[in-house]
Structures are given as structure tokens and as C-alpha cells.
Amino acid sequence: MRRPDWFVPLAHALLAFAFAATTLMAFMQGGLLGSGAQPVWGTIGPLTAMLMLGTHHDAVSILFADLVGFTRLSQELSASDLVGVLDELFAEIDALVDKHGVEKIKTIGDCYMVASGLPDPREDHAPALADFALDLRDLIVGRDFNGRQLGFRIGMPTGPVVAGVIGTKRFCYDIFYG
């Protein structure tokens, strides 16, 4: 059963409200401060649980960009310097996300995950993400990272997905396909 078009924006707004209210309550109770702090997401209400159920999207493209040469670089740099390299690079990639109107899903170590076609459907989801991938390639070509050249290994599956916030602690928006 498909949800009405108004459901997804309303669900996102309500989830944001639930997140803000829970965080504010935890802050006011001292849960975000000091030692011995309790997890912010101890329990969730039935409305938040309902919003966490996955939303089906018929036409989505997902891009996974994994840094080639990152393992070798991580062996040569301190953790602090390594995080600095990633922060600089990912900030530039975030700007490309805005430029192309695609959706950053998350980073996992040196992997950057982006989607097009969600949360709002778009007919050009695949071409938009392909254009993003070309700009991503151009961003890193010829760049020097502490004396090393890096590259991206990019995968871009396309098709129907289910996406939503999962878990009860440290909410994470994720995508499932297949």
C-alpha cells in the first residue's frame, strides 16, 4: 500500500520534532552533560517508532565512493592528520552534494554514500548522480594528500529502495535495496 504524497514530508517533520524534543529533554535533565551521562535515546514513543518504518521509493540511484589508497595513507599519518584529510575532502564533497541537489546519506570511514531520487523523487536521479560522480572524480584528480595521490572507487546501483531511520539509539537514516 502506497502512502499519500504528503506522508513523507510530514513524517520527516515529525521525526525532526521528536529528535529535537528528546535532545532538549535530555539536555535539560543533564543527560548530555558531565560524566555518567545516560544515552539520549533510551526509549522512544509509538509515534517516533511509526515514523522509523521504511519508506518505499521506486526510482533511486545510490553512489558509494571509496577512497583508493586510503589504507596506505592511514598507516603513514597520525589519526589526527588522517581525520583532517577526510574532513577537508568531505567538506568539498558536501559542497558538490548541494551543487547537484542530491542527498548525502552518510560517511563510513573513508566511504561517502550519496543518493538521488529520495527523499523527493526525481526523474533524472541517475543522470544527476552520474554528473555528481564526474565532478567527484575531477575534485580528486591531481590532488596531493600528504605526498600521496588518491582516487575513488565508485559504484552506482539504481532501482527501488526502502529508506528510513533504523534503531533506537543514535538514529541513522539508511537505505536498503535488492
Could you tell me the pLDDT band of residue 145, with boundaries at 50, 70 and 90?
A: confident
DSSP conformation class of 150 = -
Cell numbers for 157: 546501483
Average pLDDT along the chain: 75
pLDDT of residue 157: 93
Q: What is the pLDDT of residues 77-104, one digit of tens each?
A: 888 888 888 888 999 999 999 999 999 9
To the question of pTM greater than 0.85 for the whole model, the response is no
167 vs 162: CA distance, rounded Å: 15
pLDDT of 123 higher than 80: yes
Q: How far is the C-alpha of 56 from the C-alpha of 72, rounded, in Å?
A: 39
Q: Burial of 113 by CB count in 10 Å (0-12 exposed, 13-18 middle, 19+ buried)? A: middle
pLDDT band of 111, cuts 50, 70, 90: very high
Q: What's residue 138's pLDDT?
A: 92
pLDDT > 60? residue 117: yes
More confident residue, 20 or 52: 52
Q: What band does 178 get if pLDDT is binned at 50, 70 and 90?
A: low
Task: For residue range 26-41, list pLDDT tens digits in order.
Answer: 444 444 334 444 443 3
* pLDDT tier at 15, thresholds 50, 70, 90: very low
Q: How far apart (Å, rounded) are the C-alpha atoms in residues 32 and 23?
A: 8
pLDDT level of residue 59 (50, 70, 90 thresholds) = very high
* Gap between the Cα atoms of 62 and 99, Å rounded: 17
Q: Which domains does the chain have, with CATH numbers?
A: 7-51 (no CATH), 55-177 (3.30.70.1230)
Q: What is the DSSP string of 43-58?
A: ---HHHHHHTS-EEEE
Cα gap 31→103, rounded to integer Å: 31
